[in-house]
Amino acid sequence: MDDLGVIEDMLQHANLIVTAREGGKLIGVARTLTDFSYIAYLSDLAVDVAYQRQGIGRELIRLTKQQLGPACKLLLLAAPAAAEYYPRLGFEYQPRAWMLPAGKDVM
């Protein structure tokens, strides 16, 4: 997150961004890539540490889901520290995810 250019690209190319603010201060963000009908990839969910455990993440997800079509599935890859968070919100574990790391070519 030290590369401002990457952050700018992340925000510019997202289809759906939902934020939480307190007095103008950004305290949470949900960034999603989606077609709004079939699938939505919640690529980032972040809440300022000082504001966590207050339902802000849950509300960001709820507001994100509200913008999607009724049949649209919400998919995400959890950070290791957040893996226990998502089942409490109703997310179901899916073991068939694959990732090709940056810098590695298709074989």
Summarised one tens digit per residue, pLDDT across range 91-103 is 999 999 888 999 9
Q: How many CA atoms lie within 13 A of 51 on its CB side?
A: 17
pLDDT for res 61? 97
Distances (CA, A) of 19 to 54, 79, 80, 95, 96: 15, 19, 23, 29, 30
Whole-model pTM: value is 0.86
Q: Which CATH architecture has domain 4-89?
A: 3-Layer(aba) Sandwich (3.40)
pLDDT at 1: 57
